[in-house]
Amino acid sequence: MNSRNQGCPGGCQSPTGPMPPKFPQPLHPHIPRPPQGGAQQPLSPGMAPPTATLNVFSPEEGFVKGTMFRGIYRPYKNYTPRLPTPPDEKSAMMQEVNKYAFAAHDILLYLDNFPNDQEAINLYNGFMEAYLRARDAYEERFGAITTESDALKTAPFSWTVGGWPWVRGT
């Protein structure tokens, strides 16, 4: 059995000597690679990111690419993501709700690691305000999309009345 199968208990060796550590590209645009050689200092939660400017996509572009952060987006082969054209007003309004919900949530995940980043907090708050406006506009026109909706505070309880937002043709 070779040392690869045993997890290199004595240290990984190549034919020319010890293998230097390899560090992949950072997983996040604000998390630098560990320094080469010497002790590695991990970033602790709450530590400010090394740069002061977030490099994010617009909510539309981030929504179709699956990330708000330009530094971690990797395109798939020659595929070009595009925002779908909604067939009707209801779908268009739901797309607005979804893109702002996605943008806010993606920034929130970043804030889990960097809670002192004021720029990210401001961005999150802006996306949440846009989400709430889009959600309220949708619910005013087409009914509740969450169980926390103000539309559900009066009788008749309308959560089960009408079609579900994710069902086409309702």
If you average pLDDT over residues 95-104, what whole number do you get? 96
Cβ-proximal residues to 86 (8 Å cutoff; 6+ apart), any chain: 92, 94, 95
Model confidence pLDDT, tens digit, residues 1-54: 444 444 444 444 444 555 444 444 444 444 443 333 433 344 444 444 444 488
If you average pLDDT over residues 67-80, what whole number do you get? 91
Confidence of residue 104 (pLDDT cuts 50, 70, 90): very high
User: Which pTM does this prediction carry?
Assistant: 0.64
If you average pLDDT over residues 133-148, what whole number do you get? 87
> What ranges make up the beta strands (E) of the chain?
13-14, 17-18
